[in-house]
Amino acid sequence: MSRLAPCLKLLRPHQWVKSGFVFVGLLFGHAWDDSLLVHKVLLAAAAFALAASAVYVGNDLADRERDRQHPEKRQRPLACGSVSVTQALLLAVGCLLAALLLAHAAANAVLWIVLFYVLLNAAYSLGLKHVVLLDVFIISAGFMLRILAGTLGVGIAPSHWLLLCGLLLTLFLGFAKRRAELNALAGQGGSHRRVLDDYDPVLLDKLITICAAGAIVSYSLYTVSAETVAMHGTDNLIYTVPFVIYGIFRYLFLLHRRGGGGDPAAALLRDRHLLAAFGCWLFSVILLLGWFG
């Protein structure tokens, strides 16, 4: 067990919650009563979870020297030496092959989306992570590809409003991640991640504010749009907006006052306020779409 624990930590299983984005189409597309679609979406979510683990292992392999200079990342298995390079390579290949098999079992379109996700992240690791602004757009693209896998990938038409909201929300998370890195490294960001030399707190705070406001407004407009009301048969989705606002505001509080914001998955799992806001939002959406839709 002591040997398996570092390997499991290297895979970052807590990040698998990001595969929740795959279920957006199932939830808002009223497709939860279609067992075949549910099966495909579950396979797509599992494929993305394993593909993400393969990407994380690859990133840790490439960044292990720089991670040793980071106050938190120095504890990662490769940076501290608890997992060897050979073991990490075997884990990455195994996860990638399993991800591609699961994606193929879901649908050919899902397979291509997962492949693109892996290639995009490889390009990110090989150099695009050093390109200011583009680096965050690539982080956002990883989330958006999950949404597309659970919609277009399995034959569910995605709402343009939700795609816009997803884009703005994930850009918000990406810029908040960069802001958290600047906070943690206290002016020495470039020694760990070169692109941090191109960011500064004022710029990031402006970008974060724009994306947060855009996400709130776009989701609010989605809930009251005529197309949404007609599709779901209810105009009550507007009552889920306060949970979204509270969640975003709580995330900003954690970023600026609690040293958080660097890991959205960890924040969701560890912070009771964020978890409660998400839980209330999800419950209210299911209730409204299930009972009134």
Per the prediction, the chain carries an average pLDDT of 89
How many other CB atoms are found less than 10 A from the CB of residue 254? 20
| C-alpha separations of 221 from 65, 117, 147 in Å | 46, 29, 19
* Segment 117-130 mean pLDDT: 92
Asked if 252 and 208 count as a contact pair (C-beta separation under 8 A), the reply is yes
Confidence of residue 69 (pLDDT cuts 50, 70, 90): low
Q: Looking at residue 38, what is its pLDDT?
A: 94
| Tokens matching residue 263 | 């890991």
Task: Return the domain boundaries, the chain.
Answer: 1-158, 159-293
Confidence of residue 101 (pLDDT cuts 50, 70, 90): very high
Say whether pLDDT at 162 is over 90. no
Percent of the chain topping pLDDT 90: 61
Q: Looking at residue 224, what is its pLDDT?
A: 93
Q: Looking at residue 291, what is its pLDDT?
A: 59
Pairwise CA distance, residues 278 & 246, whole Å? 9
* Segment 200-219 mean pLDDT: 96
Say whether pLDDT at 98 is over 70. yes
CATH number for the domain formed by residue range(s) 1-158:
1.10.357.140
The contacts of residue 283 (CB under 8 Å, 6+ apart) are none
Q: Looking at residue 186, what is its pLDDT?
A: 66
Name the least confident of 72-76, 98-102, 258-262, 276-280: 72-76
Q: State which amino acid sits at residue 188.
A: Q
Say whether pLDDT at 51 is over 50. yes
Q: Looking at residue 293, what is its pLDDT?
A: 45
* Segment 226-249 mean pLDDT: 94
* Segment 172-199 mean pLDDT: 80
The contacts of residue 213 (CB under 8 Å, 6+ apart) are none
Residue 139 C-beta-side C-alpha neighbours within 13 Å? 23
Pairwise CA distance, residues 219 & 203, whole Å? 24
Q: Looking at residue 137, what is its pLDDT?
A: 97
Q: Looking at residue 220, what is its pLDDT?
A: 96
Pairwise CA distance, residues 220 & 199, whole Å? 30
Say whether pLDDT at 67 is over 70. no
Confidence of residue 4 (pLDDT cuts 50, 70, 90): confident
* Segment 22-35 mean pLDDT: 89
Percent of the chain topping pLDDT 70: 91
Name the least confident of 25-39, 42-56, 78-92, 142-156: 78-92
Asked if 234 and 288 count as a contact pair (C-beta separation under 8 A), the reply is yes
Terminal Cα distance for the chain, rounded? 48
